[in-house]
Structure 1
């Protein structure tokens, strides 16, 4: 266990930050699932920019890796374009 006051505070901060990051990562995964489940092209095209913005924000704040965000955006764009 930590002996220093600063180390104890750091542990508290890390727990809080991990919970915050977990919430946003889960929200992002749910949004991606929702977009993949859509079969209507107009609805998917409307939702895609929202999900794209979310992915970019999470990559910018290092909640997810920038390459993961790029890969997801690419696959989702292909999915939206494939819909008929």
Structure 2
């Protein structure tokens, strides 16, 4: 355990930031899972709705520092291709 005041403060800040990052990561992964489930089985309207929500959450994750912008871009490109293949049938 930290002994100095500044180290105690940094430990508190780390706990807060870790909790925030974990919540944002969890929210993002849940949304990705929902989209992949919709692509696997759902109808085209549900897939489009889930896709727009997922893209929004990925962009927010980039803003909050959870994801790198290139990683989010790669996710969006791959998911977009899967959505397009599903909705064009």
**1:2: how far off?**
2.7
Is the 1:36–1:79 Cα contact (8 Å) retained in structure 2? no
Runs of 4+ in 1 over 3 A off after TM superposition: none
Partner of 1:24: 24
Higher relative contact order (CA 8 A, sep 6+): 1
* Aligned pairs for 1:4-23 within 5 A: 4-23=4-23
Partner of 2:82: 79
| TM-score normalised to structure 1 length | 0.89
Unaligned runs of 5+ in 2: none
CA RMSD of aligned residues (A): 1.2
Aligned length: 84
Is the 2:34–2:50 Cα contact (8 Å) retained in structure 1? no
Out of 39, 47, 50, the position equivalent to 1:47 is 50
| TM-score normalised to structure 2 length | 0.85
